[in-house]
Amino acid sequence: MVANSTINITEAYDSLSQACFILWPTDKKKHKDYTKNDGFQSLMDKTETEDFINQRHDKYYKIWNNIKTKIDKLMFDLNLSATNGIFNFVSSKLNNTDNADSINKDIQLPFKEIPTGLIFSGINPDDKRMYKQIVSKIKTVPTNHVAVLESKDCINLKNTMKIIIEQLMETNLNEENENIIDATEFYKKSKIKKSNKAPNYDPYILLGWYKHLEGVSKINNNTTSPVVIEDETKEKENNNNDNNNNSTNQSKAKHKLILFIEDFECFDVLLLQDLISIFSGYSEELPIILLIGIATSLETFHQSLPISSLSLLQIEKFKLLQSYECINEIIQKVFIETIDDFKLGVKPYQYLLDNFNFLNLSVDSFIRGLKFSVMYHFYSNPLSILSSIDPTSSEMDRIFSSLTKRHLDEAKVLTFPSFKFYINSIKSTSPKLVYELLTDDKVLKDSIREGLINLHNYHIKFRVGFECLLELQKLYQSPLFKKSKRALYLLSLQESLYDSAHVQLLIKRSKVITYPIIKKFLETIKLNIEKDEFAKKLLENFVTILNDILLKFEKFDENGNEIKEEEKKERIKKRGKQIKTEEVETKVKKEEIDDDNSYNDTLYKREKVDSSKENKLKNVEEEKINDAIIINENGKRPQKTIYDNVLLSYSNSNGTSTTQRETNISKRLRAEELRGYETMVDEVNQFINKFFKDTLRCYKEFPYYEIIYYTESSKLKKSFSAQPRSVIHTALNYPNHYLNCDCCSDNDNIIESSLHDTCIAYKLYLECGKLINLYDWFVAFGNILKDKIDKSKKKEKEQNKRIKQKQKQEAEEIAKSKEKEIKKKDDIIVLDSDNEIENVILINENKEKGKFEEHHSSDEDNEEKEEEEEEFNEKEIQARFIRAISELQYFGFIKSTNRKVDHVVKLTWGSD
């Protein structure tokens, strides 16, 4: 019986014992409203309209899909070279094996090596993403059949062989399938006894299936080969494309069986040895290729496998990108190169980066945290509708016109840190503007828009400056002057990247860099600025200064020396003479070969002598610089840093030593002696300094940055970092939070006996010091439990009394009824003699004595029982105390000590 929607709930439940029923939902509208926008609710005290909620919802999906596509494309491109190398390795191996065997029959080995590719992925939890990319690339060729093996599935040899056969044949051997090839023909050739069906782990099944595939492919090639050749000739004449060659190669190529072992370190070594030995025996009939993923190194591979199995492998090595390289490229692509999209603030970015560096090294976990931060930014911020839009576009005008007064009030609250900083910086110079910002909505709208435009321009400049900073790092050979992209971006979020010690040191050391290197660096700065039209407009001043500097550089030669007019004329004359001598030498070469050889020998000797002299002079100069006394202007000897020793080679190559003691007169004399590029060192350094100061600023300097930047990290920590300590503390100190019971209270000062044993022990633990006496702890624990036991005893006694009283009442009623019956009989019975009466009286007296003795013995038994119960209760308390302490030890709150045997050390909550 099916109940209709009009039936009441009580009537529906009445039919429970009779038949089945359905309860239809009553409030469908509420359910739809809740799931309409994937949980995006109305903000600003539920005054936000559905239009704004839909805008936030749509922008979240738009921005996240954009970020996800960028990351996926980038990850694919980063590993493209490695995947192409593996694909070429697979496609090049085991081709035309019959011809090779016929040519090299004399050199043929007694065994055939299996081509194996070792893929070094490093410590990368996301290696499965890369392995899927490799497998999908290999499967683009229809003649490649891949079986992926994982250590958790490969328990023994039979199971692994079954998995290999099923994946290569793409069938399930447990089910009856007509496509499975019968292997009885191969059993006839072998010495094994013939059976109706081969077992599902037998390699003869694989061999029969492969022979069947080869036969089918030969038939198809014979029928389709002329058509393919005609198509090839037509398309070669018209387009000259390479795709046709690939198609014909795929049609003519043999079928290949590829085994991919993903996790070599977890795989059973003995099982791998058996697989190698089995497939090496079938290598003449089955074209098998091994691909093995290794996380550690080549030494572990050689140490785990014996020589007997290594000799059967023909090894080639491939290396995938490490996870830290991938995260650097993701940060540059998502946060630096993009301008108007979502950005992370300091705290959430630092949290995600710390998780990556110190916990998991996982790119996927970083992406999940990034997705959560994007979602929560659009979920909780009503002003997020202003992000990811060009502030100068018409769309921004439409959104600003639709903003309500409540949005502007929320802008003051949500952007309170930057808004407060902005007002405090203005109030002394323009107090009228401060008043208008706090009172007038139009002025506030204009200031928000202006702030977004400034942020937009800042992002363009920062992208150029960051790229130039990376180029400046490349000029130094030492790793002390190099930091990763993720670390540099963290510095830029914490403070102005220009003010950081790392960038200041790079700028100062740019004076020591040689002329040709600094010239290339300035040219790269110009190229990076001219890439983007907006950057070129914003950095026009720097472009003009750069052009002036590069024009001055034209006066210098390759070594940075000035080119004089006389030298120019001499060089032109020398070039003309060289051209004439070259023409004469070409004519005379054929006639005077011997003379030329002797002349070349003399030149070679002269060059040797000149080079030895130059080396000696260089060594002398180095010794002079090393022996020089380094003194500051104050007359004190400074301490040498690591950076000074690293960059000593640059100072030697430049030929100037700025660390020698100088007076004012010596400075003037040295300025007169400076020549060539040495005169422009300070000018170039000033330009680099100003350029980085303007481009590498911090986002916190701009007001209303909270509209674009997600700055909260508390939600990320709660969602992605486990907090067992706080959870255990709340569970043990406040069990009512999880149990929802009435017997437990939230008062910290009271330890109730109704609590769990571990909760009682934990509350006593919080009251103790660093060293806890176990006996005192046990006594306090027992006193609390005794109250509980006494209460339970009282309840039991009261219940027993009630039961006894009821039993007595029932017994008295029964006895009264019996007495009444006996009296009735006594009235009828007539006693014959007095002896019978006396006997009845004696019997009654004996009965009363027996009752008294029974009551006395029962009291003694009760006392003994109470003593036994007290002994039992003490043992029970001791057992419960030991269990509670063992649980606290398991959680890591206490540990035993060698100082005192009956004491325990406290490990948390004020143990220091």
Dist. CA 184–CA 205, nearest whole Å = 9
Please compute the mean of the pLDDT values over residues 412-434 and round it to a whole number: 87
Q: Given a cut of 60, is residue 857 above it in pLDDT?
A: no
User: Which pLDDT belongs to residue 122?
Assistant: 86
Q: Given a cut of 80, is residue 174 above it in pLDDT?
A: no
Residues 440-470: pLDDT tens digits? 889 999 999 999 999 999 999 999 999 999 9
User: Which pLDDT belongs to residue 582?
Assistant: 58
Q: Given a cut of 80, is residue 594 above it in pLDDT?
A: no
**Lowest-pLDDT range of 108-117, 185-194, 524-533, 683-692:** 185-194
Q: Which of 344, 387, 338 is nearest to 369 (CA)?
A: 344
CATH number of 111-321: 3.40.50
755: confidence class by pLDDT, cuts 50, 70, 90:
confident
Between CA 435 and CA 445, with CA 439 as vertex, the angle to 5 degrees is 100
CA distances from 507 to 489, 640, 671 (A): 18, 19, 22
Distance in Å from the first CA to the final CA of the chain: 70
Buried b (16+ CB within 10 A) or exposed e, 446-463: ebbbebbebbbbbbbbbb
Q: Which of 271, 265, 274, 275 is nearest to 303 (CA)?
A: 265
790: confidence class by pLDDT, cuts 50, 70, 90:
low
Q: Given a cut of 90, is residue 346 above it in pLDDT?
A: yes
Burial category of 907 from C-beta neighbours within 10 Å (exposed 0-12, middle 13-18, buried 19 and up): middle
Q: How many CB atoms lie within 10 A of CB 362?
A: 16
Sequence letter at residue 505 = L
Higher pLDDT, 910 or 735: 735
Instruction: Identify whether the C-beta of residue 735 lies closer than 8 Å to the C-beta of residue 745.
Output: no
Dist. CA 658–CA 380, nearest whole Å = 57
Dist. CA 451–CA 468, nearest whole Å = 26
Positive or negative torsion for Cα 802, 804, 805, 810: positive
Instruction: Report if pTM > 0.75.
Output: no
Backbone angles phi, psi at 719, to 5 degrees: -85, -35
Please compute the mean of the pLDDT values over residues 218-245 and round it to a whole number: 48
Dist. CA 202–CA 206, nearest whole Å = 8
**Lowest-pLDDT range of 98-102, 227-231, 464-468, 608-612:** 227-231
Higher pLDDT, 276 or 33: 276
Alpha helices (H) along 38-144: 50-78, 80-92, 97-103, 127-138
Q: Given a cut of 60, is residue 842 above it in pLDDT?
A: no
Sequence letter at residue 867 = E
For the chain, the residue count is 912
Dist. CA 885–CA 12, nearest whole Å = 52
Please compute the mean of the pLDDT values over residues 41-70 and round it to a whole number: 90
Higher pLDDT, 431 or 237: 431
Bridging pattern class, strands 114-120 and 288-294: parallel
User: Which pLDDT belongs to residue 257?
Assistant: 92
Residues 281-304: pLDDT tens digits? 888 888 899 999 999 999 999 999
Burial category of 269 from C-beta neighbours within 10 Å (exposed 0-12, middle 13-18, buried 19 and up): middle
DSSP 403: -
Residues 301-318: pLDDT tens digits? 999 999 999 999 999 999
Positive or negative torsion for Cα 12, 14, 15, 21: positive
Angle between helix 757-767 and helix 834-891 axes, rounded to 10 deg:
60
Dist. CA 49–CA 51, nearest whole Å = 5
User: Which pLDDT belongs to residue 213?
Assistant: 84
Residues 879-892: pLDDT tens digits? 999 999 999 998 88
Residues 472-509: pLDDT tens digits? 999 998 888 999 999 999 999 999 999 999 999 999 99
| Portion of the chain with pLDDT greater than 90, in percent | 32
Higher pLDDT, 576 or 780: 780
Render 332-385 in DSSP notation, one character per residue: IIIIIS-SSS-EE-HHHHHHHHHHIIIII--HHHHHHHHHHHHHHHHHH-GGGG
326: confidence class by pLDDT, cuts 50, 70, 90:
very high
Average pLDDT, the chain: 76
Higher pLDDT, 869 or 500: 500
Dist. CA 599–CA 285, nearest whole Å = 65
244: confidence class by pLDDT, cuts 50, 70, 90:
very low
Q: How many Å separate Cα 727 from the centre of its chain?
A: 24
**Lowest-pLDDT range of 61-70, 189-198, 733-742, 869-878:** 189-198
Buried b (16+ CB within 10 A) or exposed e, 222-233: eeeeeeeeeeee
Q: Given a cut of 80, is residue 806 above it in pLDDT?
A: no
Q: Given a cut of 50, is residue 576 above it in pLDDT?
A: yes
**Lowest-pLDDT range of 145-154, 174-183, 328-337, 639-648:** 639-648
417: confidence class by pLDDT, cuts 50, 70, 90:
confident
Please compute the mean of the pLDDT values over residues 118-133 and round it to a whole number: 89
Tell me the domain boundaries of the chain. Answer: 2-39, 111-321, 497-695, 726-906
Dist. CA 108–CA 368, nearest whole Å = 54
Dist. CA 793–CA 776, nearest whole Å = 25
Instruction: Identify whether the C-beta of residue 677 lies closer than 8 Å to the C-beta of residue 563.
Output: no
**Lowest-pLDDT range of 21-35, 120-134, 618-632:** 618-632
User: Which pLDDT belongs to residue 229?
Assistant: 33
Bridging pattern class, strands 894-896 and 903-906: antiparallel
User: Which pLDDT belongs to residue 98?
Assistant: 42
Instruction: Identify whether the C-beta of residue 382 lies closer than 8 Å to the C-beta of residue 43.
Output: yes
Written as six digits, the tokens of 44 are 């600003």
Dist. CA 836–CA 819, nearest whole Å = 19
Dist. CA 653–CA 637, nearest whole Å = 24
Dist. CA 765–CA 557, nearest whole Å = 80
**Lowest-pLDDT range of 350-364, 567-581, 611-625, 808-822:** 611-625
User: Which pLDDT belongs to residue 896?
Assistant: 87
User: Which pLDDT belongs to residue 228?
Assistant: 37
Written as six digits, the tokens of 800 are 């027993």
Q: Given a cut of 50, is residue 585 above it in pLDDT?
A: yes
Alpha helices (H) along 475-564: 485-494, 501-509, 515-531, 533-538, 540-553
Please compute the mean of the pLDDT values over residues 346-368 and round it to a whole number: 93
Please compute the mean of the pLDDT values over residues 413-431 and round it to a whole number: 87
**Lowest-pLDDT range of 118-127, 340-349, 595-604, 731-740:** 595-604
User: Which pLDDT belongs to residue 544?
Assistant: 93
Please compute the mean of the pLDDT values over residues 40-53 and round it to a whole number: 87
